[in-house]
Structure 1
Amino acid sequence: MRYLPGLAWRGLAAVALAACAATAAAADITLEKIKHTGVITIGYRASAAPFSFDAAPGKPAGYAIDICQRLVAQLREQLHLPSLQVRYVLANAAERVAKLDSGEMQMECSDSTNTKERREQAAFAPAYYYAGTRLLVRADDSADSLAQMGGRSVAVIAGSTGQAIAKARKDAGVNLNIIEVPNAAAGVRAVVEKRADGTLSDDIVLLDQAKMLKDTVKVVGPKMSVEPLAIMLPRHSPDFRNLIVRSMLDLLRDGVVQQLYQTWFENPMPVRGYSLGTPPDALLKDAFRRPSEFVSEWTVM
């Protein structure tokens, strides 16, 4: 055997230690936490039906929740964790990124829009819906667009794309009094109680609120945006993100997401009992037909 001098051994040892350190640094912190705790935490919103809402206190339901439950089922197999448990945590629009960054939750399953700005703060799975921001007003209001809301108050969700649209319209010259609210239901409530004249949010969420309130409010005007909605994931966990993306693409290819869509958008909804009667639009049909990571960019119209 050929012996190496002490300096050479020390050099090899340093290389080995550096390699070990690099491997440790490369370990996906989200996957490590899930494996260590045996728990995955899912963030949701309590009033974002049909995507996520409280069917009972602390018991979320909805289209996004159902999709995430099926993704967790695949994680159990992929990670060999048959007893992997799910914990749910409320996360409003303003705090969702911080809760992902801190590890308080590992997935956000609601109605978050995949935008270029947000991709600098979080990762996303493939889109499962294309929404558009619309305006909700009281049933007796004659306004049918944001341009007709000059000098009036509009409630928007703090940290939402609806807030960004309202600010852009205000900067363009529409005299709006913008009021921040924590969620869509709070915005609608402000309109009903006459603390706001209108509210902006995802069209389908507002339609659900209008269905519940019957003739009290109405959704008016055209869509003001094209918004790909998707599961939001931690930014610095590429291995976890890749697992979720592959699993989501499998669910799309197998028709699972399409079946869930019919349950929540085209048939009488679980818990709610009424139908939104909303077939998939052209963008979503294409996503169902040709699943991929490609996403149409968030666009303000």
Structure 2
Amino acid sequence: MAYRHLSHLLLFVLTLGLAAPSLADTLDKIRRTGTLTIGWVGGNPPFGIATDGAPEGYTLDICRQIATDLQTRLGLPALKIAYRETTWDTRFTALDANQTDMDCSASTITRERLARYAFSPAFYVTGTRLLTRKADKIRAIDDLANQPIALIRNTTGEKLVREYDAAASLGLVPVYVADAEAGLAAVRDGKARAFALDDIILYSQISAAANGPTLFEVVGPFLSIEPYGIMMRKNDAPFAAAVSDALASLLPTPKMPALYARWFDTATLKVPLNRLTKETFTTPNREPAFP
């Protein structure tokens, strides 16, 4: 009887051993299927924007450049890109369930996430600030004691606000929203006095809103320094290395300032290339967010 249980156990272990590599071998899957599946978050200009065709945005342009590099590295005659739209929450579960190969949204590299996921070098650096109505004359998070604040679950903005609130005993009242557009709407409609998120996304929402620059502003010091990277499964080192090498080769080239200008220097959005982002172009790195 003991031998039968042992044989069943050995068979189970061997089956796991054979199955695990196939779940993690994204490069092999791409070779077999000729398809790279990209996860992206919509409603997030200039990083992810829905269109009638393929989604557009700064991160998506970068990921398409990476796809071209992967096609060459793998010697494929063609490489199809499949786009799977996720939310700020489901971008993680989509990777975990092998529904996407890499997350091409605006994911901050954090120490906690590095323990669970692999990241490429950073391609943009921002920080959490507050979107408010100009008429409310809010200057910093300390002006929001006992007031409602809009947050998106599983973002670094949520984490930072909760930690700051606990330390300063402000009594903030979280109002959870689905995305950045909903966060601005919550402030506009008086459901929240402020909305906390990465400042570039806040600026983008203000630019896109009717009378946005007249009604809203981004205020307060940075609550964090947040580098964005391409997020991938941690148990797939060859794929993560291939993506990271492709991006590291792209960052120091003239293509990156051109891509940046395409999305950040437009008729509706003027965000100069900041020093920290410029440094990631010249010296690719994956330093995690601070604090």
After TM superposition, the score normalised by the length of structure 2 is 0.88
Percent pairwise identity? 32
* TM-superposition CA deviations, 1:10-59 (whole Å, max 9, x none): xxxxxxxxxxx9898656521222222221111111111111121x2563
Match in the other structure for 1:286: 279
Match in the other structure for 2:247: 248
Whole-angstrom distance in 2 between the partners of 1:136 and 1:65: 25
* TM-superposition CA deviations, 1:156-201 (whole Å, max 9, x none): 1110000001111221111100112121111111111222111001
Match in the other structure for 1:225: 224
2:67 to 45, 60, 72: 72
1:98 to 60, 83, 93: 93
Match in the other structure for 1:37: 33
* TM-superposition CA deviations, 1:209-228 (whole Å, max 9, x none): 11222222211111111001
Which secondary structure state, in structure 2, belongs to the residue aligned with residue 60 of structure 1?
coil
Give, in angstroms, the shift of residue 104 of structure 1. 0.3
Match in the other structure for 1:134: 129
Match in the other structure for 1:53: 49
Matched, 1:174 2:170: yes
Matched, 1:275 2:266: no
Matched, 1:202 2:193: no
Contact between 2:148 and 2:192, CA under 8 Å: does it hold in 1?
Answer: yes
Contact between 1:166 and 1:178, CA under 8 Å: does it hold in 2?
Answer: no
Give, in angstroms, the shift of residue 99 of structure 1. 0.6
State which structure, 1 or 2, has the greater radius of gyration over its C-alpha atoms. 1
- The number of equivalent residue pairs is 271
Match in the other structure for 1:296: 287
Whole-angstrom distance in 1 between the partners of 2:104 and 2:39: 6
Whole-angstrom distance in 2 between the partners of 1:95 and 1:26: 24
Match in the other structure for 1:164: 159
Give the direction of change, closer, same or farther, for the CA distance of 1:218–1:25 in structure 2 (3 Å limit). Answer: closer
Give the direction of change, closer, same or farther, for the CA distance of 1:57–1:187 in structure 2 (3 Å limit). Answer: farther
Match in the other structure for 1:261: 260
Contact between 1:125 and 1:231, CA under 8 Å: does it hold in 2?
Answer: yes
RMSD: 1.9
Whole-angstrom distance in 2 between the partners of 1:86 and 1:181: 30
After TM superposition, the score normalised by the length of structure 1 is 0.85
Unaligned runs of 5+ in 2: 1-15
Whole-angstrom distance in 2 between the partners of 1:23 and 1:239: 17
Unaligned runs of 5+ in 1: 1-20
Matched, 1:109 2:104: yes
Match in the other structure for 2:4: none
1:240 counterpart letter in structure 2: F
